[in-house]
């Protein structure tokens, strides 16, 4: 097992990935905006991904210290607003964290990934990339990850580095409930629209990420896998 750098590893899906990776025997390096709660299963670097200079210094220091075999670009932020009300500063912040940081982290880690015998990049996208009311800013950054994943996969294939995207649907996390009131009719309707009839769990997303990190996934690259309870094949309420 190798060393896995995970952005946004403090809570939710990122924390579930960190804990699953540690259980599988990986060395975990978490990049978080604040100190994670509880006992984090690995090393922690605290940095705001919106600050490119700070991000570059932090990740460069991690790269200098030792091997990196895999990168999980999980960090994300969201602001919900219809088109007329989108604040461009919010849109820029989402782009910086959700998309630009993915490129920068991959650039910084690439020399180490090229040295690995089982190099992996997994980007965490979102079902919102397929379109959702109020998610123009967020959804566009996640849609960009789909194209980014495919292009990175092509560029890095000669280095035997696989690049894939895991795109969750509604998952029971603070991130989801922060923009979807659990008591609201809209949220209830969304859950009812999921063919499997429930919210997903962070651990279910983590399991897919761990598969992509494994040697068994060595012939899969450039793909986006939706973890959404079947929501991508059904109608979604607004």
**pLDDT tens sequence across 30-41:** 999 999 999 999
Q: What is the predicted pLDDT for the residue at 39?
A: 95
**Mean pLDDT of all residues in 153-171:** 97
Instruction: From residue 99, give the alpha-carbon distance in Å to each of 63, 184, 194.
Output: 20, 30, 27
Question: Could you give all domains of the chain from N- to C-terminal order, each with its CATH number?
Answer: 3-173+201-229 (3.40.50.720)
Strand 70-73 versus strand 27-32 pairing type:
unpaired
* Residue % of the chain over a pLDDT of 90: 89
Dump pLDDT digits (tens) for 123-161: 999 999 999 898 999 999 999 999 999 999 999 999 999
Q: What is the predicted pLDDT for the residue at 10?
A: 95
What is the pLDDT of the chain when averaged over all its residues?
95
**CA angle, 208 then 209 then 210, to 5°:** 90
Dump pLDDT digits (tens) for 48-104: 999 999 999 999 999 999 999 999 999 999 999 999 999 999 999 999 999 999 999
* Residue % of the chain over a pLDDT of 70: 98
Question: Does the pLDDT at position 120 exceed 70?
Answer: yes
Question: Does the pLDDT at position 183 exceed 90?
Answer: no
If pLDDT is split at 50, 70 and 90, which confidence band does 235 have? low
Question: Is residue 70 within 8 Å of residue 5, measured between CB atoms?
Answer: yes
* Structure-token match 């986006």, residue found: 224
pLDDT greater at residue 178 or residue 219: 219
Catalytic residue positions, numbered: 138
Q: What is the predicted pLDDT for the residue at 179?
A: 84
pTM (two decimals): 0.94
Question: Does the pLDDT at position 206 exceed 70?
Answer: yes
Question: Does the pLDDT at position 236 exceed 80?
Answer: no
């Amino acid at each position: 097992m190798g060393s896995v750098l995970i952005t946004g590893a403090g809570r939710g899906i990122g924390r579930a990935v960190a804990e699953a990776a540690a259980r599988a025997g990986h060395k975990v390096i978490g990049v978080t905006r604040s100190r994670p709660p509880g006992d984090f299963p690995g090393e922690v670097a605290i940095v705001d991904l919106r600050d490119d200079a700070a991000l570059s210094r932090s990740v460069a220091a991690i790269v200098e210290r030792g091997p990196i075999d895999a990168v999980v670009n999980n960090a994300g932020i969201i602001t919900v607003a219809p088109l007329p009300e989108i604040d461009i500063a919010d849109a820029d912040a989402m782009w910086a964290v959700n998309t630009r940081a993915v490129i920068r982290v991959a650039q910084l880690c690439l020399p180490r990934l090229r040295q690995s015998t089982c190099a992996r990049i997994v980007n965490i996208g979102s079902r919102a990339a397929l379109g959702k009311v109020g998610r123009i800013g967020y959804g566009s950054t996640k849609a960009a990850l789909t194209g980014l994943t495919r292009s990175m996969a092509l560029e890095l294939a000669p280095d035997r580095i696989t690049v894939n995207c895991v795109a969750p649907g509604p998952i029971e996390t603070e991130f989801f409930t922060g923009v979807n009131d659990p008591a609201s009719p809209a949220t209830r309707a969304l859950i009812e629209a999921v063919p499997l009839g429930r919210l997903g769990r962070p651990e279910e997303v983590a399991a897919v990420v761990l598969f992509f990190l494994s040697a068994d996934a060595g012939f899969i690259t450039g793909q986006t896998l939706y973890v959404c309870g079947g929501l991508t094949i059904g109608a979604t309420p607004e």
